[in-house]
């Protein structure tokens, strides 16, 4: 009693200045323990010596956890003030009251707490498994939120009373889309039997959906597809995997790389040093050779139209460069392959870049000399009919860096020679792609600018056609699709440019003239399907 009376006297003396304080501050100023101070304040409140806030005050606190980082907690506390005999008073808009059972907190025995509400709900439905969001929805009328559910469930899990399930990886467990799956463990049954039943309940709840992380799902699916295809003595295209998995290119690349690491019996090959295919090591050599031959024939046929349009795109870009660049001198190179444009340049590489080992091709190279006393600038063009990503930019720049023509060794590593500028032309660039550069997140265009690579889009060329007076139906993409070859692209653009009012009519005439070509391409595509 003497010690308690002494603590009470110290509390009253401290609060006599009329300044409200919380339990932690009082303990710090008195030099007492937090627990002892909290108990003394509770007794003082019940005895009428102090007043307490009617409602707890909630603040968000951050606590440092050493190597574990920083954790965030929601702290609830009361303020205390000296009592002069009144039952309630207001200080700084806070209501202070004397002791009454109606002001007791649920956690202090004053009512039905959220934790007890959650425990009762799980116990009453022990034969089922619930997602954390389902528990919160069922107990919404009691003020229970998802964060309340998991904070309570983690305490119950530590005591072995519930089983919690989520996506499992090597290092941790993450929630499903609907939250963690929770079910009770029957303490009246043998432990092994109770856990087995709990797992079975979560299996039933997960029926029809995967119970592992998305990347593991993709890895397993990739292996299954490759195994099944190998049994039919065939090989699997990367494009087929992308269609089956319905994921982004980045997600597919990560899953394929992980699958090859986990399962060494999965093999990869490239056809025409470009198209990726996969098979299982159990495939016989003669079956593999036959499958590769079939795919080569398929690619020659199916990609014929794509190759035509791709080459037409190169000619279209070249035409605009030639039209709008004063003093452009295109570099030419003879080729052994018949029909290959002499303006396509083969570069020699001093190291491999991507799928290119000793050589790499660029679509055009031209030199511009601004004036008599100005140094010439060399522009190297790479064309792509499709959407360009960061990976395409990086690979193009690496080709230039590691080529004997345009790269040079520097103290900072391999760099472009002075006066060399890369130009990447594409039908479109991914507008949503973001690239981290140091501490900044930039879009693809800004990233290209930092690499000294210029970007040319189909929209840029279409804008020039509109300025010239061409109708909206005539686009550079349409020109590339309808022209039979690169020469016809140049001829068609010349006519359109000189007679913009007749552009749509001219394009229609080309379509009519080349209808047999389009029909032949469609026949080839159907026969190869």
The alpha carbon of 432 is separated from its chain's Cα centroid by a whole number of angstroms, namely: 11
Candidates 1.10.3470, 2.60.40, 1.10.287, 1.10.10; correct CATH number of 114-205? 1.10.10
Phi, psi of 246 (to 5 degrees): 50, 50
At residue 327 the predicted structure's pLDDT band, cuts being 50, 70 and 90, is: confident
pLDDT of residue 110: 53
Overall average pLDDT of the 6-33 stretch: 85
The alpha carbon of 187 is separated from its chain's Cα centroid by a whole number of angstroms, namely: 43
**What beta strand segments (E) does 210-263 contain?**
236-237
pLDDT of residue 528: 45
Average pLDDT score, the chain = 83
Nearest to 312 by CA among 479, 174, 452: 479
Candidates 1.10.10.10, 1.10.10.60, 3.30.450.40, 3.90.1200.10; correct CATH number of 2-105? 1.10.10.10
pLDDT of residue 9: 82
At residue 529 the predicted structure's pLDDT band, cuts being 50, 70 and 90, is: very low
416, 399 contact by CB (below 8 A): no
Nearest to 516 by CA among 473, 477, 488, 484: 484
Report domain extents, the chain. 2-105, 114-205, 214-302, 305-523
Please tell me the least confidently modeled range out of 204-213, 292-301, 372-381, 409-418: 204-213
Phi, psi of 350 (to 5 degrees): -95, -5
Fold adopted by 305-523:
Trna Endonuclease; Chain: A, domain 1 (3.40.1350)
Overall average pLDDT of the 331-351 stretch: 81
Give yes or no on whether 114-205 and 214-302 have one common fold.
yes
CATH code reported for the domain at 214-302? 1.10.10
364, 344 contact by CB (below 8 A): yes
Overall average pLDDT of the 12-24 stretch: 86
CA 328-330-331 angle, to 5 degrees, is: 145
- Cβ-count burial of 32 within 10 angstroms (0-12 exposed, 13-18 middle, 19+ buried)? middle
Overall average pLDDT of the 477-484 stretch: 90
462, 475 contact by CB (below 8 A): yes
pLDDT of residue 87: 84
- For residue 2, pLDDT beyond 70: no
DSSP 350: S
Share above pLDDT 70 across residues of the chain, in percent, rounded to a whole number: 90
Share above pLDDT 90 across residues of the chain, in percent, rounded to a whole number: 12
Please tell me the least confidently modeled range out of 7-11, 176-180, 210-214, 451-455: 210-214
Overall average pLDDT of the 29-55 stretch: 86
- For residue 278, pLDDT beyond 90: yes
Per the listing, tokens 């986990």 go with 262
Overall average pLDDT of the 269-292 stretch: 87
- For residue 492, pLDDT beyond 90: yes
Q: What is the pLDDT of residues 381-430, one digit of tens each?
A: 888 888 888 888 888 888 999 999 999 988 888 888 888 999 998 888 87
- For residue 317, pLDDT beyond 80: yes
- For residue 213, pLDDT beyond 70: no
Q: What is the pLDDT of residues 90-114, one digit of tens each?
A: 888 888 888 887 777 655 545 567 8
């Amino acid at each position: 009693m003497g010690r308690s009376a002494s603590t009470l006297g110290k509390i009253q003396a401290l609060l006599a200045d009329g300044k409200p304080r919380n339990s932690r501050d009082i303990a710090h100023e008195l030099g007492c323990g937090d627990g002892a101070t909290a108990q003394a304040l509770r007794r003082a409140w019940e005895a009428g010596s102090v007043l307490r806030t009617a409602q707890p005050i909630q603040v968000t606190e951050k606590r440092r956890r050493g190597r574990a980082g920083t954790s965030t907690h929601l702290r609830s506390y009361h303020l205390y003030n000296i009592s002069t005999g009144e039952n309630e008073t207001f200080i700084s808009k806070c209501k202070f009251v004397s002791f009454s059972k109606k002001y007791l907190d649920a956690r202090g025995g004053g009512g039905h707490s959220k934790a007890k509400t959650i425990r009762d709900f799980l116990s009453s439905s022990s034969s089922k498994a619930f997602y954390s969001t389902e528990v919160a929805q069922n107990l919404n009328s009691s003020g229970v939120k998802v964060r309340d559910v998991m904070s309570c469930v983690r305490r119950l899990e530590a005591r072995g009373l519930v089983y919690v399930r989520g996506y499992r990886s090597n290092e941790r467990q993450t929630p499903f889309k609907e939250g963690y799956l929770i079910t009770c463990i029957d303490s009246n049954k043998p432990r092994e039997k109770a856990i087995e039943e709990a797992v079975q309940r979560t299996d039933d709840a997960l029926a029809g959906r995967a119970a592992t992380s998305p990347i593991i799902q993709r890895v397993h699916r990739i292996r299954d597809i490759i195994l099944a295809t190998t049994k039919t003595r065939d090989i699997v295209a990367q494009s087929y995997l992308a269609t089956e998995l319905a994921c982004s290119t980045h997600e597919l690349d990560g899953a394929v790389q992980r699958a090859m690491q986990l399962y060494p019996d999965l093999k990869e090959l490239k056809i025409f040093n470009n198209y990726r295919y996969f098979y299982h090591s159990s495939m016989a050599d003669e079956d593999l050779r036959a499958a590769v031959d079939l795919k080569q024939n398929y690619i020659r046929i199916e990609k014929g139209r794509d190759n035509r349009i791709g080459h037409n795109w190169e000619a279209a870009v070249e035409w605009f460069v030639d039209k709008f660049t004063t003093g452009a001198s295109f570099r030419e190179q003879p080729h052994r392959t018949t029909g290959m444009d002499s303006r396509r340049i083969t570069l020699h590489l001093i190291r491999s870049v991507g799928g290119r080992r000793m050589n790499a091709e660029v679509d055009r190279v031209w030199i511009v000399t601004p004036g008599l006393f100005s140094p010439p600038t060399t522009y190297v063009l790479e064309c792509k009919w499709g959407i360009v990503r960061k990976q395409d930019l990086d690979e193009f720049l690496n080709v230039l860096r590691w080529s004997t023509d345009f790269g040079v060794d520097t103290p900072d590593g391999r760099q472009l020679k002075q006066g060399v500028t890369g130009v990447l032309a594409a039908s479109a660039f991914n507008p949503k792609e973001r690239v981290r550069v140091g501490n900044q997140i930039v879009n693809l265009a800004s990233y290209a600018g930092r690499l000294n690579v210029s970007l040319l889009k189909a929209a840029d060329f279409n804008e020039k056609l509109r300025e010239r007076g061409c109708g909206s139906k005539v686009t550079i993409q349409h020109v590339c699709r309808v022209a039979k070859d690169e020469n016809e692209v140049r001829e068609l653009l010349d006519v359109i440019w000189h007679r913009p009012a007749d552009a749509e009519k001219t394009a229609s005439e080309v379509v009519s003239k080349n209808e047999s070509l389009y029909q032949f391409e469609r026949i080839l595509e159907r026969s190869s399907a």
